[in-house]
Amino acid sequence: MPRMTGRSRRVLLRNVSAALAFPAIVGAARAQGTWPAKPIRCIVPLPPGGGTDTIGRRAMQRLSEALGVPVVVENRPGAGGTIGSDVVAKAEPDGYTIGIATASSHSAAPVFRKDLPYDPVKSFTAITMLGTTPYILIGGPAAGAADLSGFIAAAKAKPGKMSCASVGVSTLGYLLTKQFELLAGIEMVDVPYKGSALAYPELMNGTVAVMLDNPSGSAGLVREARLKGFAVTRPSPVLPDVPTFESLGVKGFDAVFWYGVVGPAGLPPEIADRIQKALAAGFQTDEGRASLRAMDVEPVMSTPAVFAAAMAKQTQDLRALADRLGIKPTE
């Protein structure tokens, strides 16, 4: 048997390594090529009935139609959306578990919690920002006012007594409520709920006075005069008669809320791109855009890279706002 040279040994080792790796390469290629081969689970981190749930279900219906497999929505509410988001963060990055992300569960949560079980950027694969919506201050009989100036006057007359519903102290709505209090010169008491849909009945029956909400969940109640819409952070096409905070003298209060889709960190970029393109195709038609705008959501459908950058920047901006308000993260 001829003696092997050093070069021959290296060639042989490369050939053996390639042969051993070939089945894994083929398996990975087949897995990506056949995805999706079974139903996909989508975690909505808030209860049924609110704006996040409505947007998520509508988006997943479009995704199911585009991919040809069922997309099962699973509500996992609690802790301002962080419980459900943690489920997504800890899932296998195989494309069969995705989640609805919001400005609260990702950009605002690290501002409030030191013990957040995930990193809002590093623990996820950004897929797409679905759209944005303004905030609206809604109120019921306990608000004791017919307009924003009347409400501010009522709140000033009872400092620390006017109740304000929220979906948790680790949410963007809570942070912006505190900003509104500072700008308006009032002080309210926070009453947390697991989701906005759970707060609406108690706003209507007078248990709580007001809530800073997004119109995708409450616009119908305002149109039906079951709740009062005092002001919006930006003009709302579904509530054109509700004035902006800016026009009523509360300057600089113009934030918006966003909805997006994420997967666990490590999700193959091919899968993330395919989901993004499927959703974009579904919502960039006239009918698709109209379906979101009917819920006061302006379609965005950004690419994964653009969405990831937007989340990171907003997290930095909200940390700066929290510092100005003197809000520190808790354990």
Beta bridge partners, 74, equal 43
Helix axes 51-67, 286-293, angle to 10 degrees: 160
Q: Give me the percent of the chain exceeding a pLDDT of 70.
A: 90
In this prediction, residue 33 carries a pLDDT of: 60
Whether residue 36 is preceded by a cis peptide bond, meaning omega within 30 degrees of 0, is: yes
Query: Domain end: 248, 276, 298, which one?
Result: 248
What is the pLDDT of the chain when averaged over all its residues? 89
Confidence class for position 331, pLDDT limits 50, 70, 90: low
Distance from C-alpha of 254 to C-alpha of 202, rounded to nearest angstrom: 26
Distance from C-alpha of 82 to C-alpha of 264, rounded to nearest angstrom: 14
Instruction: Indicate whether 108 and 184 sit together in one domain.
Output: no
Instruction: Indicate whether 242 and 308 sit together in one domain.
Output: no
Residues in contact with 275: Cβ distance below 8 Å, sequence separation at least 6, in sequence order: 63, 95, 98, 127, 128, 261, 263
Instruction: Indicate whether 87 and 224 sit together in one domain.
Output: no
Query: Which stretches of the chain are DSSP H helices?
Result: 6-34, 51-67, 82-89, 109-112, 148-157, 172-184, 196-204, 215-223, 269-283, 286-293, 304-325
Q: How many domains does the chain have?
A: 2
Instruction: Indicate whether 243 and 281 sit together in one domain.
Output: no
**Given a cut of 70, is residue 30 above it in pLDDT?**
no
DSSP state string for 188-255: -EEEE-SSHHHHHHHHHTTSS-EEEE-HHHHHHHHHTTSSEEEEESS--TT-TTSPBTGGGT-TT---
Return the closest-CA partner of residue 228 out of 135, 150, 138. Answer: 138
Confidence class for position 4, pLDDT limits 50, 70, 90: very low
CATH number for the domain including 79?
Answer: 3.40.190.150
Confidence class for position 328, pLDDT limits 50, 70, 90: confident
Is the whole-model pTM more than 0.95?
A: no
Instruction: Indicate whether 213 and 302 sit together in one domain.
Output: no
Query: Domain end: 200, 220, 248, which one?
Result: 248
Instruction: Indicate whether 59 and 199 sit together in one domain.
Output: no
Average pLDDT, stretch 207-226?
A: 93
Could you tell me if residue 4 is inside a domain? Answer: no
Instruction: Indicate whether 141 and 124 sit together in one domain.
Output: no
Could you tell me if residue 23 is inside a domain? Answer: no
Query: Domain end: 248, 282, 316, which one?
Result: 248
pLDDT tens-digit readout, 34-92: 999 999 999 999 989 888 999 999 999 999 999 999 999 999 998 878 999 999 999 99
CATH number for the domain including 219?
Answer: 3.40.190.10
Retrieve residue 317's tokens: 């901006």
Instruction: Indicate whether 103 and 203 sit together in one domain.
Output: no
Determine the structural domain holding residue 311 and report its residue range: 39-133+256-325
pLDDT tens-digit readout, 83-142: 999 999 999 999 999 999 999 899 988 888 888 999 988 999 999 999 999 999 999 999
pLDDT tens-digit readout, 150-194: 999 999 999 999 999 998 887 889 999 999 999 999 999 999 998
